[in-house]
C-alpha cells in the first residue's frame, strides 16, 4: 500500500532511538499518522515542527498498518515562533484537528481552509479567519451552524443571535424575550472581511460553545484542548 500527498504537520513524537511518529493533515487522505525513519535526529527534528508544509510518501504492507512516511519539507512556518499570538493560533488549529477529526477520512474543504489560515497566520486579519476556520471545522464534523436566515422570521438581515439548541441564527426581533437565552452572533461572521477584536471574542465564544458540546463525547468529557484556551486567553488581553 502506498500513496503520495501534500500535508501539514500537526505533531511529532520520538519513536525508538532515531525515528519519530508524525501526525499530518493531508489533502486527500485526511488526518494520518506514520513513522519517519531518522525523524528524531537533530537535523530532521528541526524540520518537523507543527505547521510545516510537507510532501509525503506513505508506505505500508497493509492499509490498516501505521506505515512509514518519507517526508520532504516544502514550507517552514518557523517565523511564527517570534509571534506569540500567531503561534498560539497555529497550535490551537493542530490540537483541534487532532481531537476532532477521525483518522484517514478526507476533508477537502477543511484542508483548503486550514492551508489558507496557516499562510495567513501573523498577517492582518488572521484572527477573523481563525474564527471562520472553527466554523468550517464544525461543518466538517457534522455540526455546522445555519447563519443564512432567521429561524423565526426568515429574515436574512439583522441576524443577532444563535440558538444554542439548533445552531440557527435569529434576529433581535425574532429573539424577543428569549434573547438572554441565546448566544450573541457577531456582525460579519458569515462574510470574509476582517473582524474587530470584539467580534473575534464573540465569535470564539459562539464556536467554543458548540465545539465543546459536540466534542465532549469524543473527548470523554474532557474540555477542549488547552492550546485553544491559551489562544482565547491571549486574545482577551488588552492590546
Mean of the pLDDT values across residues 74-78? Answer: 94
C-alpha cell at 200: 473575534
Pairing assessment for the beta strands 30-36 and 68-75 based on DSSP bridges: parallel
CA distance 96 to 36: 23
Tell whether the model's pLDDT for residue 152 goes beyond 80: yes
Q: Which of 1, 122, 119, 14 is nearest to 63 (CA)?
A: 1
Tell whether the model's pLDDT for residue 197 goes beyond 70: yes
Give the pLDDT band (50/70/90) at residue 239: low
Pairing assessment for the beta strands 19-26 and 2-15 based on DSSP bridges: antiparallel
Residues in the chain: 239
155 backbone dihedrals φ, ψ, rounded to 5°: -70, 145
What is the Cα 186 distance to its own chain's centre? 20
19-42 pLDDT, tens digit each: 999 999 999 999 999 999 999 888
198-229 pLDDT, tens digit each: 999 999 999 999 999 999 998 999 999 999 99
84-123 pLDDT, tens digit each: 999 999 999 999 999 999 999 999 999 999 999 999 999 9
Average confidence score pLDDT of the chain? 95
pTM for the model stands at 0.94
Tell whether the model's pLDDT for residue 1 goes beyond 90: no
The confidence score (pLDDT) of residue 65 equals: 87
The confidence score (pLDDT) of residue 119 equals: 96
Amino acid at each position: 500500500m502506498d500513496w503520495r500527498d501534500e500535508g501539514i504537520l500537526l505533531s511529532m513524537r520520538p519513536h525508538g532511538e532515531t525515528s519519530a511518529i508524525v501526525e499530518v493533515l493531508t489533502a486527500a487522505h485526511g488526518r494520518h499518522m506514520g513513522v519517519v525513519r531518522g525523524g528524531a535526529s537533530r537535523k530532521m527534528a528541526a524540520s518537523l515542527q507543527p505547521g510545516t508544509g510537507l510532501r509525503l510518501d506513505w508506505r505500508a504492507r497493509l492499509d490498516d498498518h501505521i506505515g512509514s512516511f518519507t517526508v520532504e519539507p516544502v514550507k517552514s512556518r518557523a517565523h511564527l515562533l517570534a509571534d506569540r499570538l500567531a503561534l498560539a493560533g497555529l497550535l490551537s488549529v493542530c490540537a483541534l484537528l487532532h481531537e476532532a477529526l477521525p483518522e484517514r477520512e478526507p476533508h477537502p474543504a477543511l484542508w483548503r481552509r486550514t492551508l489558507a489560515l496557516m499562510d495567513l497566520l501573523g498577517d492582518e486579519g488572521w484572527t477573523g479567519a481563525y474564527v471562520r476556520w472553527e466554523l468550517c471545522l464544525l461543518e466538517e464534523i457534522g455540526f455546522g451552524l445555519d447563519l443564512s436566515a432567521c429561524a423565526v422570521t426568515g429574515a436574512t438581515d439583522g441576524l443577532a443571535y444563535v440558538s444554542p439548541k439548533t445552531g440557527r441564527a435569529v434576529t433581535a426581533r425574532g429573539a424577543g424575550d428569549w434573547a438572554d437565552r441565546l448566544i450573541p452572533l457577531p456582525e460579519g461572521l458569515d462574510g470574509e472581511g476582517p473582524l474587530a477584536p470584539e467580534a473575534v471574542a464573540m465569535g470564539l465564544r459562539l464556536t467554543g460553545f458548540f465545539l465543546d458540546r459536540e466534542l465532549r463525547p469524543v473527548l470523554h468529557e474532557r474540555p477542549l484542548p488547552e492550546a485553544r484556551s491559551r489562544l482565547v486567553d491571549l486574545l482577551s488581553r488588552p492590546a
